[in-house]
C-alpha cells in the first residue's frame, strides 16, 4: 500500500473511523465480513469488535472455537493497525504465534477487546523506528453477555513497508 493510499485511509478514518475501518477489514480480510465482525470502538490504545453467534455457530449451538480465535486475532491486529496509523507509521502487521484459552462455551453474540500495554508499546515503537521491524505481544479478551469467556495472547510482527516507516 502506498503512502498516498495510506494517507487517504487515515483521512477517511478521521472523519468516519468505524465505517472506514470496517470497510478496510471487509475489503482486505474478507473472512471478517463473513463472520459478521463489526468494529465498535477504535482508539489508539483500545479496540473492541463484536460478532454474532449465527455465522460462527458450531454443532453444539455455541461459537466455533476457530471463530472465537479469529475474532480475537482480528481485535488485536486491528488495534495495532489503528495505533500505528495514529503514530503515522506505514507497516505490514502479521501474527507470528498465539495461544487461546477457552474458559466457557460462548452461547450468544460476543465481543473481543484488545488493549495496548503502554510500556510494551513504547518499547515496540523504539525498536520499530530503529530497526524497521519489531515484535509486540497483545492480549484480547473475549466476552459474552459481559462475562469473560476466553482470551488470546498473540505475538505480532510489524515490518516497515519498503525501506521506510512513513
Q: Which three cell numbers stand for residue 166?
A: 512513513
Question: How do residues 79-135 score in pLDDT, each as one tens digit?
Answer: 999 999 999 998 999 999 999 999 999 999 999 999 999 999 999 999 999 999 999
Residue 161 has pLDDT above 90, yes or no: no
Please tell me the predicted confidence (pLDDT) of residue 163: 62
Could you tell me if 140 and 151 are in contact, meaning their C-beta atoms sit under 8 angstroms apart? yes
Residue 10 has pLDDT above 50, yes or no: no
Q: Where are the domains of the chain?
A: 3-160
CATH number of this structure's domain 3-160: 3.10.129.10
Place of cell 530503529: 130
Find, among 50, 34, 78, 76, the residue nearest to 146 by Cα.
50
Question: How do residues 14-59 score in pLDDT, each as one tens digit?
Answer: 434 899 999 999 999 999 999 999 999 999 999 999 999 999 999 9
3-state secondary structure of 36: coil
Find, among 111, 133, 143, the residue nearest to 39 by Cα.
111
Please tell me the predicted confidence (pLDDT) of residue 158: 96
Task: Give the C-alpha distances (Å, rounded to integers) separating 76 from 23, 98, 120, 145.
Answer: 17, 11, 14, 20
Terminal Cα distance for the chain, rounded: 11
Residue 2 has pLDDT above 60, yes or no: no
Q: Which three cell numbers stand for residue 102?
A: 477457552
Q: Compute the CA torsion angle 142, 81, 47, 59 (nearest 10 deg).
A: -30
Amino acid at each position: 500500500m502506498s503512502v498516498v493510499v495510506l494517507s487517504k485511509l487515515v483521512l477517511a478514518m478521521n472523519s468516519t473511523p468505524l465505517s472506514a475501518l470496517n470497510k478496510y477489514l471487509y475489503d482486505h480480510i474478507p473472512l471478517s465480513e463473513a463472520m459478521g465482525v463489526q468494529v465498535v470502538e477504535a482508539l489508539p490504545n483500545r479496540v473492541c469488535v463484536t460478532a454474532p453467534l449465527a455465522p460462527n455457530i458450531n454443532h453444539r449451538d455455541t461459537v466455533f472455537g476457530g471463530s472465537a480465535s479469529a475474532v480475537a486475532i482480528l481485535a488485536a491486529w486491528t488495534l495495532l493497525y489503528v495505533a500505528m496509523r495514529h503514530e503515522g507509521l506505514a507497516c505490514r502487521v502479521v501474527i507470528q504465534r498465539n495461544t487461546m484459552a477457552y474458559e466457557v462455551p460462548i452461547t450468544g453474540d460476543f465481543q473481543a477487546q484488545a488493549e495496548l500495554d503502554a510500556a510494551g508499546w513504547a518499547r515496540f515503537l523504539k525498536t520499530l523506528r530503529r530497526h524497521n521491524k519489531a515484535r509486540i505481544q497483545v492480549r484480547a479478551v473475549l466476552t459474552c453477555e459481559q462475562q469473560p469467556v476466553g482470551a488470546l495472547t498473540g505475538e505480532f510482527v510489524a515490518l516497515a513497508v519498503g525501506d521506510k516507516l512513513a
